[in-house]
A and B are shown apart, each in its own frame.
Chain A
Amino acid sequence: MLSNITIGQYFPGNSLLHRLDPRTKIVVLFALIVALFLFDRPADYLVMSLLTLAFMLLSRVPLRTLLGSLKPLWWILLFTFLIHLCSTPGEEFAHLWVFSLTFEGLAHGFFICLRLVLLLLLSSLLTFTTSPLKLTDALEALLSPLKRIGVPAHELAMMMTIALRFVPTLIEETDKIMKAQQARGADFVTGSIVRRLKNVVPILVPLFISVFRRADDLAMAMEARCYHGGEGRTQMKQLHFLPLDYLAWGGTALLLAVLAALWLL
C-alpha cells in the first residue's frame, strides 16, 4: 500500500547524532559545507573525509543505507568527473579524439567528486538522524530572528507541518482514485504521450477537488481551535540545548579555526 511510505529518510535510533539538538545539527552541517568549499587542499579533504567517516560511524546508521543515498547521483558524479578530466589544462597523459586527458584533470575531477560525495553524505546524515518534525521545529527556531526582516518563519514551519501530516493521506487517496478510474476502464500505462497525459485528467480533477475540500475543512478546524498565526503562540515542546550540543558547537568552531590557520600558513 502506498500509504505506508514515509517522507524523508529518517532512520530511527538513539545514537549520539540522533540525540543532538536539531538546531545544532543544521548549524554544524552549514559550517561544514562552507568549510568544504573554502578549504580545498588535499590535506583539508583528508580531514573532512575522516570527520565524515567518524560521523557515519557515530550515527549507527548501516553503511549500506548511507551509501544508498548516493545512488541516484551516480551519473552526475561520473559526468562531473569526466568533464574535469577532459577540460583541465595541464600535463597530458592520453589523447581521446579531440580531448586531452591530463593528470591535473584526474586530480581535479577526483577532488570535486569527493567534495560532492562528502556534501551528500553529511546532508544525508542530518536527514537520517533527525525526524522531519524536529527539522521543522529547528527551522522555525533558526529562522525566527529573521521575522523582523519579514521572513514568515512560523508560516513556513506550519506549512511544512501540514504537508508532513497530509502527504500520506493524499498518497493513499491518489492510489484509490487511480484504482477507481482503472475499474472504469481507464488506462494510464499504454498509448502515446498525449493520450497518457489526457488520461491523467480523471485522476487530477478528483484529487484537486479533494485537496481543496480538505484545505477548506482544515482551515475551519484550525480556526475553531483559535489559530490566528504565530502571534502570541506558545509551544508545548521547546528545544533545549544539552552539554552535548555545546561540545558540538565548540568542536566545529575549533575545526574551522584549525583549517583556517593551516590555510593562512
Chain B
Amino acid sequence: MAIELQDVSFTYLPGTPYERQALRGINLKIQEGSITALAGHTGSGKSTLLQHIGGLLHPDRGQVCIDGADLAAHTKQEKRAALAACRKVGLVFQYAEHQLFEESIYEDIAFGPRNFGLAETDVEARVREAMARVHLDYDAYRDRSPFQLSGGQMRRVALAGVLALHPAYLVLDEPTAGLDPRGRRELLQMIRELHAAEGTTIVFVSHNMEDVFAIADEVVVLRQGMILLQGAPADVFAQGEQIAAAGLRQPELMRLLSALRAAGVPLSAEETAVRTPAEAAQAIVCALKEKGGRTHAQ
C-alpha cells in the first residue's frame, strides 16, 4: 500500500504564451508509514506534485495511484474508486489558516466530516479527537471564533480540519512557513506524534532543510520538475554539490559537523546519523575524548 506516481508530467496553461512545464516524468513511490519530505527551490514543482497526490490536479501523462487506485477516473466505476482513494489523502495547504471560514472552531473542523456525509454524532467524535491531536482543549475552544486565535493556533485549527477526515496519508505544503520558533517546534512535534500514534503516512513540502532534517526519514529533492536526489536525509544531504545545484542548503547542523571534521575533530562515521543538537554534542564529546586519549597515548 503506497502512493505511486508513474511517469507523471504536467504543464500549466498548455498552448498559451504562459505555458510552463512543471513536472517532467516523475516516478516516485511513497511507502505507507513513512515521513517523506519533498524539497526544492521555488518553481521546482514540489507544490504541483503535492496537488497531484491530493487529486486536485491530474497529470497530462502518466498516472498517480493511491493504494493501487488511479486518481484520474474515466468510467463511472473508476470514478467511485478514485473518489475513495482521494479521500484517503488529507491535504493541508500553505498558510492553511487562510481557509478558515466558520463562526466557531467546532463548525470549521466539522466542515470536512460533514461533506463526507458523516452522521452528527460521528462528526462530534471526530472534532473532539482532531482538537486533541492539535493540542486544543475541546471545551475551552469549541465555541470560540477561529479568527480570535493567534496565527499559530489558527493553523492548528486548519490542520485539525483535515485530521478530522482521518486521512491515511497526510500531505502538507510548507507546514511551518511564517511561524515563530515556538510555533514551528510545536507543529513539528504534533506531526511526529501523529505519525507515532496513528501510523499516518506523512508527506510534506518544505524549503526549510532544518525541518526536513528534523523529522523526515525519506527526502526527495526536486529540480526543474524532475527528481534530482532521493533517499535517507543523511545520505541525500551529504551530496553537497547536488544540494547546492537544487538551490538548497545543507542543514546547519550538518554544515557545522563537516566544518569540525575539516578542522581535525575526529568525528566517527556514525555522525551521519546525528540529527539533533543533543546527539551532535554527544558525538563531539566522544570525538574529543578519543582525540584527547590519542594525545595522551603519544
Contact = CB atoms under 8 A, between A and B. Distances in A.
Contact of B98 (A186, A187, A206): A206
Given A1-B12, A4-B12, A206 B87 contact: no
A177 interface: yes
Nearest to B114: A185
B100 interface: yes
B147 A209 contact: yes
A206 B99 contact: yes
Contact of A206 (B54, B56, B100): B100
A184 B54 contact: no
Contact of A205 (B101, B116, B161): B101
Contacts of B267: none
B116 A185 contact: yes
Interface string B88-102: 001101001011110
A140 to B, nearest CB: 29
A184 to B, nearest CB: 4
How many B residues are at the interface, by size bracket?
20 to 34
Contact of A184 (B18, B111, B147): B111
B87 A185 contact: yes
A4 B161 CA distance: 30
Given A179-B93, A184-B112, A185-B87, A202 B101 contact: yes
B56 A202 contact: no
A29 to B, nearest CB: 27
A183 interface: yes
B161 A184 contact: yes
B65 to A, nearest CB: 18
Given A181-B99, A206-B100, A210-B98, A186 B93 contact: no
Contacts of B98: 173, 176-177, 206, 209-210
A172 to B, nearest CB: 12
A173 B111 CA distance: 20
Contacts of B111: 181, 184, 186, 202
A180 interface: yes
Contacts, number: 57
Given A184-B161, A184-B165, A185-B87, A179 B101 contact: no
A186 B115 contact: yes
A183 B100 contact: no
A180 B99 contact: yes
B199 to A, nearest CB: 21
A206 B95 CA distance: 12
Interface residues of A, number: 20
Contacts of B269: none
A186 B99 CA distance: 12
B165 A185 contact: yes
B51 interface: yes
Interface in B155-176: 161-162, 165
Contacts of B93: 176, 179-180, 183
Contacts of B54: 183
B162 A183 contact: yes
Nearest to A204: B101
> In this complex, which of A4, A173, A187 has the most chain B Cβ atoms within 10 angstroms of its Cβ?
A4
Interface string A175-202: 0110111111111000000000000011
B297 interface: no
B59 to A, nearest CB: 16
Contacts of A201: 101
26 contacts: A1-B12, A1-B18, A4-B13, A4-B18, A176-B98, A179-B51, A179-B56, A180-B93, A180-B96, A181-B111, A183-B91, A183-B93, A183-B162, A184-B111, A184-B115, A184-B162, A185-B112, A186-B111, A187-B115, A201-B101, A202-B99, A202-B101, A206-B99, A206-B100, A209-B98, A210-B98
Interface of A: 1, 4, 173, 176-177, 179-187, 201-202, 205-206, 209-210
Top 6 nearest A-B pairs (CB, nearest first) are A185-B115, A205-B101, A184-B112, A183-B91, A4-B18, A180-B99
Interface of B: 12-13, 16, 18, 20, 51, 54, 56, 87, 90-91, 93, 96, 98-101, 111-112, 115-116, 147, 161-162, 165
